[in-house]
Structure 1
Amino acid sequence: MTSSEVEAHLAKVRSATRRRDAETMIELMRRVTGEEPRMWATVVGFGEYHYKYASGREGDAPAAGFAARSAATTVYLNDGVGAHSDLLEKLGPHTTGVGCVYIKNLDDIDLDVLETVVRRSYQTLTAGIYTNRARES
């Protein structure tokens, strides 16, 4: 079951592909995290982790999450894409930012690889207080 807040957010997504991919991502992230989705602003998040940087800045963020953006589905890897470069080479067509993977169509990628990446990131982030920034991975 998806929360009404998540359902309402996804109902506003104009692209049929992004809506379909969002449903796939919800099921994938539920399997990986054992958590239910909830909204973190415009991100559909699962679980949470606490971070504290050397600068003293700290806070909480979703331990796994995605956003159905107009250009692509954005998968957030808050431990940084560099930590997953070995698997991302096998993913299929995508682009990356420091802590994001952008996928235009989930039909074009290897979902098993994506699930492994999300699982590995989630386990890293929920192992304790995470002290790195994505760009440090």
Structure 2
Amino acid sequence: MAQNKTQPTKVDVEAFLAAVEPPARQADGRMLCEIMGRISGDAPRLWGPTIVGFGTYHYRYESGREGDSLRVGFSPRKPALVLYIAGGFPRYEGLLAQLGPHTTGKACLYIKRLSDIDLNVLEELIAESLIYMRTAYPD
């Protein structure tokens, strides 16, 4: 069975964040690192070349495919911050409506700048996503 493409690495998260451009994106990345670390209680770890992840979980699909992934994380990409948080919990849509400017993908939340959104709402999204993930994938 094939391994996931995105695996945890031994690359130093601080060194990765120090190289992020532009400086405003780097500052947002550092803030997200602090927020996600505080809420999750996990140390940051670089997954692949650009994703800062917190915690892990093991999944197994009905097809038999299984693997490990990060519980929450982010990537400070040039066009937007990409947040990897699980949706599907009861307050997800309501919290998104209060967040501020964003777009969503399958399991991603895209934000241009942290200064554009309500950080308290973001923290609630992260916290409730973690509760949902710990319930769905208790490991």
Q: Kindly tell me the number of residue pairs found equivalent between the two proteins.
A: 126
Counterpart secondary structure, 1:123: helix
For the 8 Å contact 1:13–1:19, the answer to whether it is kept is yes
State yes or no: 1:119 paired with 2:127: yes
Indicate yes or no: 2:45 matched with 1:38: yes
Structure 2 unaligned runs (5+)?
Answer: 1-9
The structural deviation recorded for 1:55 is: 1.2
Q: Show structure 1 runs of 5+ residues with no match.
A: 131-137
Post-superposition shift, 1:27? 1.1
Give runs of aligned pairs for residues 1-137 of structure 1, distance below 5 A: 5-41=12-48, 42-77=50-85, 79-80=86-87, 82-83=88-89, 84-129=92-137
Q: Which residue of 2 aligns with 1:134?
A: none
Cα RMSD for the two superposed structures: 1.7
Flag the structure with more relative contact order, 1 or 2, with Cα contacts below 8 A and sequence separation at least 6.
Answer: 1
- Native 8 Å contact 1:67 1:75 kept in 2: yes
Report Cα offsets for 1:41-89 as digits up to 9, x if no partner.
1210111111111111111111110000010111002x33x54111101
User: Where do 4+ consecutive residues of structure 1 move more than 3 Å?
Assistant: none
TM-score (norm 2): 0.84
